[in-house]
A and B are shown apart, each in its own frame.
Chain A
Amino acid sequence: GAVVSQHPSRVICKSGTSVKIECRSLDFQATTMFWYRQFPKKSLMLMATSNEGSKATYEQGVEKDKFLINHASLTLSTLTVTSAHPEDSSFYICSAVKEPRSPLHFGNGTRLTVT
């Protein structure tokens, strides 16, 4: 089956630093990747849609300068949380699709804690 690897699984950083989260499709090429954020005991909120070779499309209310998304290749998308603050602490999950309308495959998520 299709595997999506997300790294790191947990990260703790100090306020003001930047953190990069990687999402890799291991055995397929992903034309599109999606980034979600989940607050404790809440739903997954779509942050942005990332297509290889083009700029990410952000959902309303998501700061594009705060959450930088780069989809540099068909197997890798990165989310960088810039100048992180405690309110950015959350669970971030990526998902990838091989082609439009094909099944989504999720990474195992990254738990970010900003101190």
Chain B
Amino acid sequence: AQKITQTQPGMFVQEKEAVTLDCTYDTSDPSYGLFWYKQPSSGEMIFLIYQGSYDQQNATEGRYSLNFQKARKSANLVISASQLGDSAMYFCAMRVYNTDKLIFGTGTRLQVFP
């Protein structure tokens, strides 16, 4: 069975500081993808970053980077230079390619303060 775990229900960070949101996963399938999504209060799911299980390098997208540690089965999201607009729910998700389903973690609510 596949599982995604986010142990931080809420995080606070000061504007311009970096923050790490934790995510661990479990799957026995060798081919999978790891995703991070942002969900503001309006509800839409905003794709942030993707890491494939065979990717050798950690993914980066602007201020977002994914700290992928395959042996530990972790895929933490690092947001650098936090902005007030980063305040939202953040979901880690895993897609196992033999089923193509996307499974979500429980989410972390990030609040950025001035």
Residues of A near any B CB (own CB < 8 A): 32, 34, 36, 41-46, 49, 91, 93, 95, 97, 100-101, 103-104, 106, 108-109, 111
How far apart are the CA atoms of A93 and B89 in the complex, in Å? 15
Contact A106-B107, Cβ < 8 Å, known A32-B100, A44-B91, A95-B102: no
From B105, which residue of chain A is reached at the shortest CB distance? A43
Contact A93-B45, Cβ < 8 Å, known A100-B100, A101-B97: yes
How far apart are the CA atoms of A91 and B45 in the complex, in Å? 12
Is B106's CB under 8 angstroms from A43's CB?
Answer: yes
B12 neighbours in A (Cβ, 8 Å): none
B104 neighbours in A (Cβ, 8 Å): 36, 43-45
A31 to chain B, nearest CB (A): 10
Is A101's CB under 8 angstroms from B45's CB?
Answer: no
Interface size grouping (class) on chain B? 10 to 19
B47 within 8 A of A: yes
B100 to chain A, nearest CB (A): 5
Contact A46-B103, Cβ < 8 Å, known A108-B44, A109-B43: yes
**Other-chain residue from B45, B50, B97, B106 in contact with A106 (beta carbon distance below 8 A):** B45
B47 neighbours in A (Cβ, 8 Å): 103
Q: What are the 6 closest A-B residue pairs judged by CB atoms, nearest first?
A: A106-B45, A109-B43, A44-B104, A108-B44, A43-B106, A43-B104
Contact with A along B51-72 (1 / 0, CB 8 A): 0000000000000000000000
A106 neighbours in B (Cβ, 8 Å): 44-45
How far apart are the CA atoms of A111 and B95 in the complex, in Å? 25
A36 to chain B, nearest CB (A): 8
A99 to chain B, nearest CB (A): 10
A109 neighbours in B (Cβ, 8 Å): 43-45
How far apart are the CA atoms of A48 and B113 in the complex, in Å? 38
Is B43's CB under 8 angstroms from A43's CB?
Answer: no
How far apart are the CA atoms of A54 and B41 in the complex, in Å? 34
Contact A111-B43, Cβ < 8 Å, known A34-B102, A43-B91, A43-B106: yes
Cross-chain pairs A/B with CB under 8 angstroms, 6 sampled: A34-B102, A44-B45, A95-B45, A100-B97, A108-B43, A109-B45
